[in-house]
Amino acid sequence: MHTTLVISKLLKKMGWCLCKCRPSLSTFSSLLYSKTSSLPFPSTFLPSSSSTTTTPSIKSNIFSSSISSFASSSAVATGTFTWEDVFRISQSAEEEEDNNSSYLHGYFHKVQLCNRGSGKQSEFLPFVIEDQTVGFIHSGFVEHFKSFSDVFINIKDNSNGGSIGECVSLNPMLKTAEERTSAVAYVIKCLGEEHIPGIRNELYPVVSSFGSRVLFSLERAAAPYFGIKAYGIHMNGYVEIDGQKHLWIGKRSNTKQTYPGMLDHLVAGGLPHGIDCKENVVKECEEEAGIPRSISSRAKPVGAVSYMDIDGYRYKRDVLFCYDLKLPENFIPKNEDGEVESFKLIPVRQVAEVIRKTQFFKPNCSLVIIDFLFRHGYISPENFGYLDLLRSLRIGYCS
Amino acid sequence: MHTTLVISKLLKKMGWCLCKCRPSLSTFSSLLYSKTSSLPFPSTFLPSSSSTTTTPSIKSNIFSSSISSFASSSAVATGTFTWEDVFRISQSAEEEEDNNSSYLHGYFHKVQLCNRGSGKQSEFLPFVIEDQTVGFIHSGFVEHFKSFSDVFINIKDNSNGGSIGECVSLNPMLKTAEERTSAVAYVIKCLGEEHIPGIRNELYPVVSSFGSRVLFSLERAAAPYFGIKAYGIHMNGYVEIDGQKHLWIGKRSNTKQTYPGMLDHLVAGGLPHGIDCKENVVKECEEEAGIPRSISSRAKPVGAVSYMDIDGYRYKRDVLFCYDLKLPENFIPKNEDGEVESFKLIPVRQVAEVIRKTQFFKPNCSLVIIDFLFRHGYISPENFGYLDLLRSLRIGYCS
């Protein structure tokens, strides 16, 4: 079933609907759920007179940086809020009972932000190599390949009379992974930043499922344009103080190309070609938070989340392997690669409130933190929608 | 997609096939995966001369109690093995590397044991109340309802010209939950032990999804014959000794009606009408393991597993809410209701080996323990099939 349909059904079941027009102002949650970016600031969320100086930053995050940016393929979200905003919201008085029927709405909304546009799946053609579907390419984007018939071919029908229909493949002359990697890289170079912005010169393996043979490797920034599965690791770094768990949260540098200024995990990263998850966690721990191998090697794999997000020509099919690392109380993270502005240690219950009430977090971090909340007992079956939310963390191709 | 197909595909991908004939004796795993109960004892698992006295018990468990019992609707699995057998297997030398491609096979097999017969879904008719599908009833079982037209009705077509096709419903004269409960109870009483064995006089709520309105209540033993969703709680009780986690494992009483003598969680139970998960955990903790509320109230909800199992006229659609309870090192469980023969504290890695290599555990416990192994880092993305196994823990109707 299409993702949007699944989420719409879940939300409908909980008394919500996908709202594209001006919603009721009765609750903060319903406002956040709206996709309209020109809404007035919700009255239930107006700051007290003592904190007026920070109002614009919150407002711009919720409605400008998050909602409008997420809705546009070219826009980049900007987190113009401050840590002060984060802490105020995380500690704001909670009027709702956590077992009332709307308690999980804010989480559902975050899942939805990672799973847009599934109704548009039919606009994409399967990208097939050696009879395995490794991706999906928008029929509009396929037009760019017309001048590159020595690399890409269109298959109108399955010659065996089967049912695969129209799909995109690579020229059968390209037999080895190396030949394919090099030929596709040439096309990507020709298309350039105009068609594939943000080229990083970092290769992702192209596989039909995790652990299967690598058919070729592809520039990371191009992955969504080819709809290939991208794998990553996200690590929740936490500390237990007097029996209460706290999460180390990063705020991305304002100069980051993607999601500048937004909240992030202590450690996260894509899984490039040629490195396994465990080694990647250790490597990213060192680079992103200055965590030495003696500590990072204790990080535990704890599951995975997945999502599929269609946005224009981009079809993201991401699987994030989740890790937990319990850190010593006295450990202070230190970013080594300039990608993080600062870190703060925040009680898990307060992090949960930030996830529920704002869009301060880089969207896919929300999924991994919601997964953490499930596994550590912060969401319970008494919360209406428990099983629906749990299932929604693995929408898409978790394989 | 049908469950069997899904699992078959996963296993095929890993180089396995669903084997109904005499399998190769080359590996212990492939033998365990067979459904044939008349196989010779595997040579790779022959006991040493010093332990011949325990051979019959292991043999009878693996091939008689587990495989043949699980394959028959009337048979009840019997755990005629001893704790000595459990410990020997749990500590047996591990020849396989945990990152080789077959390491997860034993776990996949346990998932399969809980998800049989999905190819037979078409033999069942939807059981619909107030336009909600609450269950599935075998067309053969529906025959029993012919003398009870004041209670059950067959709907051949949707009068609105829709697509629901043939289904079973309750007589529309039965308007309230109480009227339905009482009328269906009457039919179940008339059908008696011959058609619905093991009647317990314990009511389960009938709902379309967890938390939705209870449409009526049904005798627990009848639930699979009506294919209604049954919910339960399973709790992993663990202790941390010198940084190593150990699970408290129960061995069911040999006089238990179901799965006598088999291994079980410290605490588990169905979720009857009128009690929420949290309270049920506290209640079962007291009854099954003598855990006082002061400790059991710390049990954490950590997710859910689900499975669907078709066996003759029975269609089990179970969702188990998983709980973890970290117990004090000096706590010794004590069964209060006579349903547990004894408890043992076993290092998690050894419990994992028992799950992988035997069928000593009550089948659905395996799923919950595999979920524990995922959440606590005992299975890692480097294990081939990681994502497939993770997904397989929520087959069926996890709602």
pLDDT for B179-207, tens place per residue? 999 999 999 999 999 999 999 889 999 99
Q: pLDDT at position B86, please?
A: 97
* Structure confidence at residue A8 as a pLDDT band (50, 70, 90): low
Contact between residue B325 and residue B295 where contact means Cβ atoms under 8 Å apart: yes
A226-230, A335-339, B96-100: lowest mean pLDDT where?
Answer: B96-100
Q: How many CA atoms lie within 13 A of A170 on its CB side?
A: 26
Rounded CA-CA distance B170/B370 in Å is 39
Across the range B270-283, mean pLDDT stands at 94
Helix (H) and strand (E) counts for chain A? 14, 13
Contact between residue B136 and residue B225 where contact means Cβ atoms under 8 Å apart: no
Best CA proximity match to B144, nearest among B125, B162, B128: B125
* Structure confidence at residue B92 as a pLDDT band (50, 70, 90): confident
> In this complex, which of B302, B324, B391 lies closest to A398 when CB atoms are compared?
B391
Residue B118 has φ and ψ, to the nearest 5°, of -70, -20
To test the contact with chain A by mutation, choose from B302, B375, B383 the residue with the greatest count of A C-beta atoms within 10 A, namely B375
Phi-psi region of B195 (alpha: psi -120 to 50; beta: other; left: phi over 0): alpha
Nearest CA-CA distance, residue A379 and chain B, Å: 7
The DSSP output letter for B317 is E
In tens, the pLDDT along A31-58 reads 223 332 222 222 222 223 333 222 233 2
Instruction: Give the residues across from B320 on adjacent strands.
Output: B232, B305
Q: Which of chain A's residues have a Cβ under 8 Å away from the Cβ of B276?
A: 381-382
Judged against a pLDDT cut of 50, whether residue B256 lies above it is answered with: yes
Best CA proximity match to A262, nearest among A38, A85, A134, A28: A85
Judged against a pLDDT cut of 60, whether residue B161 lies above it is answered with: no
B391 touches chain A (CB under 8 A): yes
Rounded CA-CA distance A376/A392 in Å is 18
Q: Which of chain A's residues have a Cβ under 8 Å away from the Cβ of B385?
A: 211
Phi-psi region of B303 (alpha: psi -120 to 50; beta: other; left: phi over 0): left
The verdict on a CB contact (< 8 Å) between B375 and A319 is no
Phi-psi region of B185 (alpha: psi -120 to 50; beta: other; left: phi over 0): alpha
* Strand B300-311 versus strand B314-326 pairing type: antiparallel
Judged against a pLDDT cut of 80, whether residue A98 lies above it is answered with: no
* Structure confidence at residue B257 as a pLDDT band (50, 70, 90): confident
Q: pLDDT at position B101, please?
A: 81
Judged against a pLDDT cut of 70, whether residue A325 lies above it is answered with: yes
To test the contact with chain B by mutation, choose from A101, A305, A375 the residue with the greatest count of B C-beta atoms within 10 A, namely A375
The residues near A290 (Cβ < 8 Å, ≥ 6 apart) are: A333, A334, A335, A336
Q: pLDDT at position B78, please?
A: 56
Q: pLDDT at position A9, please?
A: 59
Across the range B103-126, mean pLDDT stands at 96
A251-255, A316-320, B23-27: lowest mean pLDDT where?
Answer: B23-27
To test the contact with chain B by mutation, choose from A380, A391, A397 the residue with the greatest count of B C-beta atoms within 10 A, namely A380
The residues near A126 (Cβ < 8 Å, ≥ 6 apart) are: A133, A135, A136, A164, A167, A168
Give the percent of chain A with pLDDT over 90: 70
In tens, the pLDDT along A329-359 reads 999 999 988 899 999 999 999 999 999 999 9
B99 touches chain A (CB under 8 A): no
A311 or B66, higher pLDDT: A311
Handedness of CA A215, A221, A223, A226 (dihedral sign): negative
> In this complex, which of A376, A391, A399 lies closest to B388 when CB atoms are compared?
A399
* Structure confidence at residue B12 as a pLDDT band (50, 70, 90): low
B85 membership: H or E segment, kind and range = helix B83-91
Nearest CA-CA distance, residue A193 and chain B, Å: 34
* Structure confidence at residue A20 as a pLDDT band (50, 70, 90): very low
Residue of chain B whose Cα is closest to the Cα of A396: B391
Judged against a pLDDT cut of 60, whether residue A67 lies above it is answered with: no
Average pLDDT, chain B: 82
Query: Encoding tokens for residue A366?
Result: 């929300």
Q: pLDDT at position A253, please?
A: 95
* Structure confidence at residue B272 as a pLDDT band (50, 70, 90): confident
Nearest CA-CA distance, residue B296 and chain A, Å: 14
* Structure confidence at residue B337 as a pLDDT band (50, 70, 90): confident
Nearest CA-CA distance, residue A220 and chain B, Å: 21
* Structure confidence at residue A280 as a pLDDT band (50, 70, 90): very high
A30 or A219, higher pLDDT: A219
Judged against a pLDDT cut of 90, whether residue B302 lies above it is answered with: yes
Judged against a pLDDT cut of 80, whether residue B339 lies above it is answered with: yes
Across the range A59-69, mean pLDDT stands at 31
Amino acid making up residue A49: S
Residue of chain A whose Cα is closest to the Cα of B388: A399
The verdict on a CB contact (< 8 Å) between B301 and A387 is no
Taking residue B323's Cβ as centre, other Cβ atoms within 10 Å add up to 29
Across the range A196-221, mean pLDDT stands at 94
In tens, the pLDDT along B208-217 reads 999 999 999 9
Judged against a pLDDT cut of 80, whether residue B373 lies above it is answered with: yes
* Structure confidence at residue A289 as a pLDDT band (50, 70, 90): very high
Q: pLDDT at position B273, please?
A: 85
Q: pLDDT at position A22, please?
A: 30
A185 membership: H or E segment, kind and range = helix A177-195
The residues near A399 (Cβ < 8 Å, ≥ 6 apart) are: A209, A210, A229, A319, B387, B388, B391
Q: Which of chain B's residues have a Cβ under 8 Å away from the Cβ of A385?
A: 211
Q: Which of chain A's residues have a Cβ under 8 Å away from the Cβ of B1?
A: none
* Structure confidence at residue A99 as a pLDDT band (50, 70, 90): low
Average pLDDT, chain A: 82
Give residues 361 to 380 of A whose Cβ lies within 8 Å of B: 374-377, 379-380
A191-205, A381-395, B80-94: lowest mean pLDDT where?
Answer: B80-94
> In this complex, which of A302, A374, A380 lies closest to B377 when CB atoms are compared?
A302
Across the range A369-396, mean pLDDT stands at 97
A222 or B32, higher pLDDT: A222
Best CA proximity match to A109, nearest among A38, A21, A17: A17
> In this complex, which of B13, B278, B394 lies closest to A382 when CB atoms are compared?
B278
A173-187, B57-71, B216-230: lowest mean pLDDT where?
Answer: B57-71
* Structure confidence at residue B396 as a pLDDT band (50, 70, 90): confident
Q: pLDDT at position A398, please?
A: 95
The verdict on a CB contact (< 8 Å) between A380 and B277 is yes
* Structure confidence at residue B10 as a pLDDT band (50, 70, 90): low
> In this complex, which of A301, A376, A384 lies closest to B377 when CB atoms are compared?
A301
To test the contact with chain B by mutation, choose from A236, A379, A387 the residue with the greatest count of B C-beta atoms within 10 A, namely A387
